[in-house]
């Protein structure tokens, strides 16, 4: 079994950005529930139609739906040699479900990207200009930050000894160098 890494952090912390680079470097699949949900919405599948409103509001999609897509993805051959989870688990119930599916050592390291709130909002508003994501308006961003505080932050205690904090402020390459150092330590 290869590396089993989880990226934790608030919206805009750089999880997706760093996870993509790290997955390439390690040769493991980058599994992003946010990206899978956005792909389903763009493709107009039944799942996409079901989750579209929820994702644009900044709330979390139901645990059952997300678990189903993650189980399916983790069951593919390429995930047998490790994986990098980005955006899942998003709450404690999802973490418990992941352990039931993949076992006690489902997560070997939880990398927590630390970035202050003003910088998060600035990054996401910039992405709104660049990419026009439906959930990158200022109100929805604030709501997503609250959802993070209430639902996702408890995962730091849940994963306790596996959590490694990484300073997420700085250029993408500088943060990536910190991620690589943190994993080596």
Active site residues: 15, 90, 127, 133, 144
> What are the respective helix, strand and coil percentages of the chain, to the nearest 5?
60, 10, 25
Residue choice 30, 34, 74, 107 for contact with ligand B4P (CB under 6 A): 34
Please identify, among the stretches 10-18, 22-30, 39-47, 71-79, the one whose residues bind ligand B4P according to the rule CB under 6 A.
10-18
CB of 47 to ligand B4P, least distance (A): 12
Rule CB under 6 A: is residue 58 a binding residue for ligand B4P? yes
Contact 30, 84 (CB under 8 A): yes
Which residue's CB comes closest to ligand B4P? 34
Residue choice 6, 8, 14, 95 for contact with ligand B4P (CB under 6 A): 14
* CB of 59 or CB of 164, closer to ligand B4P: 59
> Nearest Cα to 11, choosing from 154, 94, 122, 98?
122
Q: What angle do CA 38, 99, 155 make, to 5 degrees?
A: 70
What tokens were used for 89? Answer: 């688990």
């Amino acid at each position: 079994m290869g590396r089993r890494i989880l990226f934790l952090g608030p919206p805009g912390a750089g999880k997706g950005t760093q996870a993509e680079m790290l997955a390439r470097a390690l040769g493991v699949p980058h599994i992003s529930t946010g990206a899978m949900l956005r792909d389903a919405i763009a493709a107009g599948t039944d799942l996409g139609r079901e989750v579209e409103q929820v994702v644009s509001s900044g709330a979390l999609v139901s645990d059952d739906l997300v678990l189903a897509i993650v189980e399916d993805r983790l069951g593919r051959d390429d995930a047998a040699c490790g994986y990098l989870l980005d955006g899942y688990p998003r709450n404690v119930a999802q973490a418990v479900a992941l352990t039931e599916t993949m076992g006690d050592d489902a997560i070997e390291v939880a990398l927590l990207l630390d970035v202050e709130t003003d910088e998060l909002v600035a990054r996401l508003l910039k992405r709104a200009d660049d990419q026009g994501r439906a959930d990158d308006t200022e109100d929805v961003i604030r709501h997503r930050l609250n959802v993070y505080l209430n639902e996702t932050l408890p995962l730091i205690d849940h994963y306790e000894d596996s959590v490694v904090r990484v300073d997420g402020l700085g250029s993408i390459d500088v943060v990536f160098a910190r991620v690589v150092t943190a994993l080596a330590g």
